Amino acid sequence: MAELSLNRARSIIRKALAKGREEGFKPLSVVVLDTGGHVKAFEREDGAAPGRFGIAQGKAYGAIMLGMAGRAQMARAEQQAYFMAAVNGVYGGQVVPVPGGVLVRDQRGNIMGAVGVTGDTSDNDVIAAVAGIEAVGLTPEE
Amino acid sequence: MAELSLNRARSIIRKALAKGREEGFKPLSVVVLDTGGHVKAFEREDGAAPGRFGIAQGKAYGAIMLGMAGRAQMARAEQQAYFMAAVNGVYGGQVVPVPGGVLVRDQRGNIMGAVGVTGDTSDNDVIAAVAGIEAVGLTPEE
Amino acid sequence: MAELSLNRARSIIRKALAKGREEGFKPLSVVVLDTGGHVKAFEREDGAAPGRFGIAQGKAYGAIMLGMAGRAQMARAEQQAYFMAAVNGVYGGQVVPVPGGVLVRDQRGNIMGAVGVTGDTSDNDVIAAVAGIEAVGLTPEE
Amino acid sequence: MAELSLNRARSIIRKALAKGREEGFKPLSVVVLDTGGHVKAFEREDGAAPGRFGIAQGKAYGAIMLGMAGRAQMARAEQQAYFMAAVNGVYGGQVVPVPGGVLVRDQRGNIMGAVGVTGDTSDNDVIAAVAGIEAVGLTPEE
């Protein structure tokens, strides 16, 4: 299983932030996690609220730990709220089950990490994450 | 009160994983807990998400701590979500109240431990757990 | 970076336990963690105390998170106790900085995971871990 | 109170990492925190252990929360280990009281944030942090 290099993680973050500026989104925060859910790189734009690291990380962390992207987590939370609440307990309160936690897959479909974006609406957060991941030639799973 | 031996715990795990392969389930993770809720043995199949230990353990741990298998816990969570949330707080966030946490009983009905399975749908997780427990001549309570 | 397969993790555990029986060690518990510090497989021998999972995991977890095996962690703890106490806080109390947390490296020196053994003296725990790792053709770092 | 912009935080990280490469240090991880102790930016070099975010953050977080850089925290820990242990409890286990947590001050002496570096010896971590801070025309307090 290949890990994302720091160079690629940086490019993902830059492109995600550039997409946000281009679309006129609010200030974004973007994290890249490795295949074990550990932080590889993070940036928070000027004007974003101070607590955004935790939200970005929580979106990406749940995606890695469950192997399930943010949209699927949200669907599960809407069907069975107590299940996602319990999962959150298991993972120490570090899971934010909404869109914006996006899995990064290579050409063979292997998970290489996850990107978490927060700052605008969840759907806009996804747009920024996807732009970043596609810019480095990898495949996003929203 | 008889405890499950390591040999029996291993057999349960192997048979549960074999059942999963036979049925074409997604990669599974299987834990066996003793009568005190402590881990006896665990295996996570290649391709399963990294965080699956916590989910498997959470399913089996609630079964032991409450003496109530996963299906009964889910029923309670659906009736009274705040009760299961409170239970989760009491047990340090380590309870996942859905099917796949299966009690193991001997011929007299004594609890000998619990099995937790995660990776496919909750109902398929139960099928794998039951196959493992029955293969060693014990009685599952789903 | 290659991950340990479940087959290899099983072999490591079996050989580590066999080494313990051969040497007349007390009942052992052995965990194998992946490169992100997540549990791949675990077994606790009959007669081992119920809480041994946490100790085995704590030895291997610190090795992964810091990239530093148990003997090096112990040396640091003896020089600067408050540093290892602080590290433990950072990692949620999940680090046990003594011998028995052994890094698993491939031929090129890349970390493939870690093994944690507990049950006998720390030095004997290391002997069992090393036997398991060498039996699958990999290189232990104690 | 002026905050570090994302541009400046990026420059600090790049220069700190460049200094590490130039000096032949082991792979480094560098975090920049704002005046509230919240993460502004972070990068972990390829080859660094997965848990390095927590150590980098812990070094910088203590510096901000106490208004006391890493060397002063270490001196205090060596005199009164129980005091720093208590401080660690107060701040949720997020303080690592060793060199490598460096305050960032402007020309008037106001704190603008903190930098945390980890990966090589504590003294080398400081060298990298100082290089990063000075490169953007600000004043490090080690």
Q: Assess whether chains A and B touch, using the rule of 3 or more C-beta pairs within 8 angstroms.
A: yes
- Give dist(CA A28, CA C99) in Å, integer: 44
Question: Is A83's Cβ below 8 Å from some Cβ in B?
Answer: yes
> Is A53–D34 a contact, with Cβ atoms under 8 angstroms apart?
no
Q: What are phi and psi of A80, to 5 degrees?
A: -140, 75
pLDDT of C90 > 80? The answer is yes
Q: Distance from C60 to chain D by nearest Cα, in Å?
A: 13
Q: How confident is the model at residue B2 (pLDDT cuts 50, 70, 90)?
A: confident
Nearest Cα residue to D1 out of D32, D41, D34, D31: D34
Q: Per residue in D19-36, pLDDT tens?
A: 999 999 999 999 999 999
Task: Spell out the residues 6+ positions from residue A21 whose beta carbon is closer than 8 angstroms to its own.
Answer: none
Q: Is A51 on the interface with D (CB under 8 A)?
A: yes
Residue D18, classified by CB atoms within 10 Å of its CB into exposed (0-12), middle (13-18) or buried (19+), is middle
For the stretch B25-46, pLDDT in tens is: 999 999 999 999 999 999 999 9
Residue D130's pLDDT is what? 98
Model pLDDT for residues D51-78, shown as the tens digit of each residue:
999 999 999 999 999 999 999 999 999 9
The subunits that touch chain A, with at least 3 C-beta pairs less than 8 Å apart, are B, C, D
Judged by CB atoms closer than 8 Å, whether chains meet at B88 and A85 is answered as yes
Q: Is B121 in the A-facing interface, judged by CB distances under 8 Å?
A: no
pLDDT for the residue A2: 79
**A6-141 is a CATH 3.90.1150.10 domain:** no
Take residue A100 and report the two structure tokens written for it. Answer: 């914006």
How far apart, in whole angstroms, are the C-alpha atoms of residue C98 and residue C95? 9
3-state secondary structure of B141: strand
As a three-state string, the secondary structure of chain C is: CCCCCHHHHHHHHHHHHHHHHHHCCCCCEEEEECCCCCEEEEEECCCCCCCHHHHHHHHHHHHHHHCCCHHHHHHHHHHCHHHHHHHHHHCCCCCCCCCCEEEEECCCCCEEEEEEEECCCHHHHHHHHHHHHHHCCCEEEC
The reported pLDDT for the residue numbered C115 is 98
Contact residues on chain C for D118, CB-CB shorter than 8 A: none
| Cβ within 8 Å, pair B88-A89 | yes
Is the pLDDT reported for residue B79 higher than 70? yes
Is D67 an 8 Å CB contact of chain C?
A: no
Cα(B66)–Cα(B63) distance, rounded to whole angstroms?
6
Please indicate whether, in this complex, the C-beta atoms of A65 and B81 are within 8 angstroms of each other: no
Model confidence band, residue D103 (pLDDT cutoffs 50, 70, 90): very high
Write out the DSSP string of D19-53.
HHHHHTPPP-EEEEE-TTS-EEEEEE-TTS-TTHH
Mean pLDDT of chain B: 96
Round to whole Å and give the CA distance between D140 and D122.
15
Q: What is the rounded average pLDDT for all residues in chain D?
A: 96
Asked if D38 lies within 8 A of A45 by C-beta distance, the reply is: no
Give the residue carrying structure tokens 């031996």.
B5
Task: Give the bridge partners for B104, in sequence order.
Answer: B113, B140
A residues 98..117 contacting B (CB < 8 A)? none
The tens digit of pLDDT for each residue in B107-128 reads 999 999 999 999 999 999 999 9
Whether A79 has its CB under 8 Å from any CB of chain C: the answer is: no
Residues of B in contact with A37 (CB under 8 A): 50-51
Query: Is residue C1's pLDDT more than 60?
Result: no
pLDDT digits (tens, 9 = 90+) for A16-39: 999 999 999 999 999 999 999 999
Beta carbons of D105 and D142 less than 8 angstroms apart: no
Q: Give the pLDDT band (50/70/90) at residue D1.
A: low
What pLDDT is recorded for position B1? 56
How much is the pLDDT for A83? 92
**DSSP designation for A37:** S
DSSP H or E segment with residue B122: helix B122-135
**Residue contact D6–A45, C-beta within 8 A:** yes
Q: Of the given ranges (B35-39, B117-121, C1-5, C125-129), which has the lowest mean pLDDT?
A: C1-5
d(CA B130, CA B136): 10
Taking contacts as CB-CB distances below 8 angstroms, the residues of chain D near A36 are 50
Of residues A107, A96, A113, A117, the one with CA closest to residue A45: A117
Q: What residues in A contact D119, CB-CB < 8 Å? A: none
Distance of CA B14 to the CA centre of its chain: 14
Whole-number Å distance between alpha carbons of B45 and B126 = 17
Q: pLDDT-based confidence at D2, cuts 50/70/90? A: confident
Q: Which of D34, D41, D44 sits opposite A40 (nearest CB)?
A: D44
Say what the pLDDT of residue D77 is.
93
Note the Cα A104 to chain centre separation in Å. Answer: 9
Q: Does D47 touch chain A (CB under 8 A)?
A: no
How far is residue B29's CA from residue D27's CA, in Å, rounded to a whole number? 34
Interface C:D, Cβ pairs < 8 A? 63
Contacts of D43 in chain A (CB under 8 A): 6, 9-10, 40-41
* Largest Cα span, chain A: 39
Looking at the DSSP bridge assignments, the partners of residue D66 are none
Q: Round to whole Å and give the CA distance between D107 and D126.
A: 20
Coil, helix or strand at residue D117: strand
Paired sense of beta strands D39-44 and D139-141, if any: unpaired
User: What are the tens digits of pLDDT across the range A51-99?
Assistant: 999 999 999 999 999 999 999 999 999 999 999 999 999 999 999 999 9
**pLDDT at A1 (0 to 100):** 55
Spell D65-90 as b/e; 16+ CB within 10 A means b: bbebbbbbbbebbeeeeeebbebbee
How far, in Å, CA of C64 to CA of C105, rounded? 11
Strands (E), chain B: 29-33, 39-44, 101-105, 111-118, 139-141
Min CA distance, D56 vs chain A (Å)? 11
Type of residue found at C118: T
Q: Show which subunits contact B, needing at least 3 CB pairs below 8 angstroms.
A: A, C
Whether chain A lies against chain D with 3 or more Cβ pairs closer than 8 A is yes
C6–chain D Cβ distance below 8 A for any pair: no
Q: Which residue of C has its CA nearest to A65?
A: C38
Copy the structure tokens of residue B83: 């009760």
Sheet holding C29-33, edge to edge: B139-141, B101-105, B111-118, B29-33, B39-44, C39-44, C29-33, C111-118, C101-105, C139-141
User: Per the CB < 8 Å rule, is B51 touching A64?
Assistant: yes
DSSP H or E run through A114:
strand A111-118
Question: For residue C77, what pLDDT is reported?
Answer: 93
Q: Which of C127, C7, C117, C137 is nearest to C59 (CA)?
A: C117
> Which chains have at least 3 CB atom pairs separated by less than 8 Å from chain C?
A, B, D
